[in-house]
Chains A and B, each alone.
Chain A
Amino acid sequence: MELQWPLILFTTLLAWAAGLFAAQCVWALRGRGAKAQMPALIGSVALLAVGGIAVVFHLEHWERIFNGFGHMTSGITQELIAIVVLFVVMVVYFVYLRRSGDEAKVPTWLAVAGIVMAVVLVVVMGHSYMMASLPAWDSVLQIGSLLGAAAAFGPATMAVICAVRDEASDLDAKANLIGQCANVVLVVAYLVAMQATAGSYTAVEFWFDPTSPTLDITPDGSTAPFAGASMGAAVTAIIAAVAGAASAFVGKAKGDWKLWGIVGAACVLVSALALRAVFYMTGVSIYPFF
């Protein structure tokens, strides 16, 4: 399948938005980073908005969503509901932040609800791509890879905001190490799962499509991430994820999260975009002849 850039940006930015919001909820639960709370909330809402704008570029007739949007079995509908619910939680969060002033305290239930909804949104988003027609997509590890990106994006961004706001804490190092390492594991796990779909495609020895008489029917490796055109992107996804984890270790050693948080977030961004590119390149139908 061709690279669907609006969708690649949408999933990546939404994972970032959910990750950042969940991270700030964790910080709030631990009573850390009071001055970082409001900027973090504004940041995640902005990421959500930019992601939303990106997806509109994918739709050919977005204005027709008013003609009957809401078919419940559709992953897109479920995604929209999850976004709206998360947004409502964010608004409530905003109200509590404003009310508590400099202390920036939010109730425990709200912080927990924020984490839960952030996870739900990422899971629902990933689930909407799980289609039996496309073996490389039809894996829970695909959802895992998005959760990994969220888990790495959130702490890295939160650590940068805390550093800028002079709110450094022990959480910076802890959360970044856990998030970045989880991302490495989940990126690799999903790539391995994609590679393992090899036997799921209908195969015939020779076939011919009269509408493409010169089509080369030798397998081009497009169903496997570590073969053909997607190889470079698959390797980039892994290297960038590992570099992200390395940045967390360096950040811990140097304590300079302004720099290493930005480096970490940039690595996750490269890794997530590259992995999503592999996702489309290996998005081959079980019946690849038509």
Chain B
Amino acid sequence: MAQYAIVTDLNRCVGCLACMVACKAVNNVPIGSYWNKVLRIGPSKKAGATSAHDVEMYYLPVQCQHCENPECVKVCPTGASHVLEDGTVQIDKSKCIGCQFCAMACPYGVRYLNEEERVVEKCTLCEQITAQGGLPQCVIQCGGRARFFGDLEQGIDSFEAPDVGYDVDRSYDNLYTGNRVKLGDMAKEYSEADVYHLPDVGNGPHFAYILRDREWKGGE
């Protein structure tokens, strides 16, 4: 058992949209659908702002949060939506009848009907890559080195991303398997109170967001 997830260090995210584009490219996501989207939250006035220019904002990459008690799995009549041993939530397309109840039941609206295949799709956490020991494409290509992938049971400091620097081997193959840096070694200091999740209505979102010195907007 494991509990795979992604942690995004929002103080490092520059809003380059590379994760969003990488996901679309590698997963062949249909036009108009997004398995991963980078929202901008704000600008909002800082606490104690004295002028209208005294604002702050952050970027928020949102995708399926591979929840603890996934509502999408609960409502699925066929078992097409299911939880894997690695803790990720996946869809068996051959079982999906396209009732779209899962899309309604997901609190974040991250599921899309694939109009061509007429089944529902969403972020798979790139299981085709992670099953081979690699990292999800959005983590590999993150332009701000803000995204880290790992097993929540090992703690988020153990989460990994491709290493950065001049003397590391950044060949394409190494992107997938070697050359890793751990969040604990790379991220600036943060406290428990800096770790946030998307609003929880009982689904228990697993993905985490680190945000320091800035006000997290929208609950939780």
* Chain A residues near B (Cβ < 8 Å): 1, 58-62, 64-65, 67-71, 73-77, 80, 128, 131-134, 202-211, 283, 285-290
Residues of chain A with a CB closer than 8 A to B101's CB: 74-76, 128
Is B76 a contact of A204 with CB atoms below 8 Å? no
Please determine whether B217 and A204 come into contact, CB atoms closer than 8 angstroms. Answer: yes
- A149 to B99 CA separation, bound complex (whole angstroms): 24
Stretch among B2-10, B37-45, B139-147, B154-162 lining the A interface: B37-45
Knowing that A65-B78, A73-B74, A290-B39 are A-B contacts, what are 14 other residue pairs whose CB atoms are under 8 Å apart, sorted by A's residue number?
A: A60-B99, A67-B94, A69-B77, A70-B79, A74-B77, A74-B101, A76-B75, A77-B77, A133-B71, A133-B203, A202-B199, A207-B39, A283-B104, A290-B62
Closest chain B residue to A138, Cβ basis: B201
Tell me, rounded to whole Å, the shortest Cβ–Cβ distance linking B35 to chain A. Answer: 11
Q: Contact string, B41-63, partner A, CB cutoff 8 A, digits 1/0?
A: 11110000000000001000010
> Interface size of B by Cβ–Cβ distance < 8 Å?
47
In the complex, the answer to whether A64 meets B97 with C-beta atoms within 8 Å is yes
Q: Distance in Å from the Cβ of B138 to the closest Cβ of chain A?
A: 15
Could you tell me if B62 and A69 are in contact, using CB atoms closer than 8 angstroms? no
With the chains together, A58 CA to B100 CA distance in Å? 9
Partner pick for A287 among B80, B105, B118, B198, CB 8 A cutoff? B198
Answer whether A1 and B79 are a contact pair too, CB < 8 Å, given A206-B42, A207-B42, A286-B199: no
A-B contact pairs, 16 of them (CB 8 A): A64-B94, A64-B96, A65-B78, A68-B95, A71-B76, A71-B78, A74-B77, A76-B101, A131-B104, A133-B106, A205-B42, A206-B44, A207-B40, A210-B37, A286-B201, A287-B109
Question: Which residues does chain A contribute within 8 Å of B107, judged by CB atoms?
Answer: 132-133, 285-287
Task: Say whether B110 faces chain A, with CB atoms less than 8 Å apart.
Answer: yes
Q: Is the CB of A74 within 8 A of B41?
A: no
Contacts of B23 in A (CB 8 A): none
Q: Contact check, A287 vs B95: say whether CB atoms are below 8 A apart.
A: no
- Tell me whether chain A's interface is mostly helix, strand or loop, or mixed: loop
Interface set of B (CB-CB < 8 Å, partner A): 17, 20, 34, 37-44, 57, 62, 71, 74-80, 94-101, 104-110, 113, 118-119, 198-199, 201-203, 217-219
A133 touching B104, Cβ below 8 Å: yes
Which residue of the partner chain B has the closest CB to A75? B75
Contact check: which of A77, A132, A202, A207 meets B202 at CB < 8 Å? A132
Contacts of B98 in A (CB 8 A): 59-61
Residues of A within 8 A of B109 (CB): 285, 287-288, 290
In whole angstroms, how far apart are the Cα atoms of A73 and B79 in the complex?
10
